[in-house]
Amino acid sequence: MVSDTANPLVSVIIPCYNSAAHISEAIDSVLAQDYSNIEVIVVDDGSTDNSIDILRQFGDKIIVLQQANQGPAAARNAGMRIANGQFIAFNDSDDLWLPGKLTAQISYLQQHPDIGLCYCGWAIWHGETSLEQISAQLASTGPADTTEDTYYSGWLYLKLLKDSVIHTITAVLRRDVIDNIGMFNTEYRIGEDHDLWLRISQRYQMAKLSRTYAVYRDNPDSTTKKVHAKNFSLLVLESAIANYGLKCPSGEQASQPVVNHYLGARHFTYGYNAMMQGHRDKALVSFKGCIRYRYRLGKAILLSTICAVPQLYKLFLRKKTATS
């Protein structure tokens, strides 16, 4: 373990799966940080393209691990197991850090020893402008900005029940948080980050920096946009409620009707995506969940009726396809 208290070592974990088109930009944005005491660990998660060849071109600037495809949770966990840093940070293989990110976050964490995790603002890049343009628009030209977004800082359990307000590429956390809480749950193919933040929120306060220091690339092929075998977003929320209830460590408590609204919303989102992508049975189960929680009740009843009748469902898809 590095003992430099002024500039402690930060381990940056990047999972990579068939990311040849973007992985270089993601790594370069980390290596370009003005905070120099970092190790970059890239975990190739069974890529079948030429990602590994691109990674080898970075030489000793990065550490490369290879494993059979197991998903991003397992890849991040593999990286953390060999990490030497006192702090752990994450980037994804198609996303970008902006200048000053690590300097600001490590500075904040050093000034606030009661905070277990620091995250920051992020922008969504749809590709309508060039990478250079969006970076120039968002990049800070002054000193690292540690201004805190007080609304999204502190004991965040109840806010995290509503939504995963922390984007993985923005998170920097103390190594002992992982040692105490555990790593990502590999049973979740998506939502594994939300699950970890919820677990952390039971033991640690977290803080958000107001400034945007990361860029998320809106990728139509992202795993988050696929209809998975299970409604992982719902399962994460149900697990948190079962384990921790509706009460935050701060003493604040959510009402059951409010939480039912959150549960219903997760049923609806999964159900509608499943319906549009041809998974009629999954959609029907989800819309029945919406009805149970009385979430968007009229529309849920209508859509469940359509999904329950194969002929109606086929007609619905034909009309949607014709108008899209």
Do residue 169 and residue 47 come from a single domain?
yes
Q: β-strand 38-45 against 63-67: which pairing, if any?
A: parallel
pLDDT at 23: 97
Do residue 94 and residue 164 come from a single domain?
yes
**Does the pLDDT of residue 324 top 70, yes or no?**
no
User: Rounded mean pLDDT of 53-71?
Assistant: 97
Structure confidence at residue 193 as a pLDDT band (50, 70, 90): very high
Do residue 85 and residue 179 come from a single domain?
yes
What is the extent of the structural domain holding 182? 10-225
Does the residue 49 lie in any domain? yes
User: Rounded mean pLDDT of 147-167?
Assistant: 97
Do residue 190 and residue 265 come from a single domain?
no
Query: Of 225, 241, 274, which marks where a domain is finished?
Result: 225
pLDDT digits (tens, 9 = 90+) for 90-145: 999 999 999 999 999 999 999 999 999 999 999 998 877 776 777 777 766 566 78
Question: Exposure of 14 by Cβ count < 10 A (0-12 exposed, 13-18 middle, 19+ buried)?
Answer: buried
How many structural domains are present in the chain?
2
pLDDT at 147: 93
Do residue 176 and residue 99 come from a single domain?
yes
Structure confidence at residue 177 as a pLDDT band (50, 70, 90): very high
The pTM of the full predicted model, rounded to 2 decimals, is 0.92
Give the separation between CA 259 and CA 242, rounded to whole angstroms: 12
Do residue 282 and residue 218 come from a single domain?
no
Does the residue 245 lie in any domain? no
User: Rounded mean pLDDT of 177-191?
Assistant: 96
pLDDT at 140: 64
Query: Of 225, 244, 265, which marks where a domain is finished?
Result: 225
Does the residue 1 lie in any domain? no
Do residue 180 and residue 52 come from a single domain?
yes
User: Rounded mean pLDDT of 69-94?
Assistant: 97
Does the residue 246 lie in any domain? no
- Please name the residues in contact with 289: beta carbons below 8 A apart, sequence gap of 6 or more: 234, 263, 264, 267, 271
Give the separation between CA 38 and CA 30, rounded to whole angstroms: 9
Q: Which among 80, 107, 110 has a CA at the least distance from the CA of 14?
A: 80
Does the residue 116 lie in any domain? yes
Do residue 153 and residue 193 come from a single domain?
yes
pLDDT at 141: 58
Ranges of beta strands (E only) in the chain are 10-16, 38-45, 63-67, 87-90, 96-97, 115-125, 172-174, 205-217
pLDDT digits (tens, 9 = 90+) for 19-46: 999 999 999 999 999 998 999 999 999 9
User: Rounded mean pLDDT of 289-294?
Assistant: 98
Do residue 71 and residue 174 come from a single domain?
yes
Does the residue 42 lie in any domain? yes
pLDDT at 53: 97
pLDDT at 225: 60
Of the two residues 137 and 18, the one the predictor is more confident about is: 18
Q: How high is the mean pLDDT of the chain? A: 93
Give the separation between CA 254 and CA 236, rounded to whole angstroms: 17
- Please name the residues in contact with 213: beta carbons below 8 A apart, sequence gap of 6 or more: 97, 98, 100, 101, 104, 105, 120, 121, 122, 170
Do residue 186 and residue 313 come from a single domain?
no
Do residue 31 and residue 179 come from a single domain?
yes
pLDDT at 134: 75
pLDDT at 223: 58
DSSP code string of 277-299: TT-HHHHHHHHHHHHHHTSSHHH
Does the residue 311 lie in any domain? yes
Of the two residues 99 and 323, the one the predictor is more confident about is: 99
Structure confidence at residue 218 as a pLDDT band (50, 70, 90): confident
Q: Which among 7, 81, 68, 8 has a CA at the least distance from the CA of 41?
A: 81
At position 53, the amino acid (one-letter code) is D
* Radius of gyration of the chain, Cα coordinates, nearest whole angstrom: 21
**Does the pLDDT of residue 1 top 80, yes or no?**
no
Q: β-strand 10-16 against 38-45: which pairing, if any?
A: parallel
User: Rounded mean pLDDT of 273-294?
Assistant: 96
**Does the pLDDT of residue 3 top 70, yes or no?**
no
Do residue 38 and residue 179 come from a single domain?
yes
Does the residue 235 lie in any domain? no
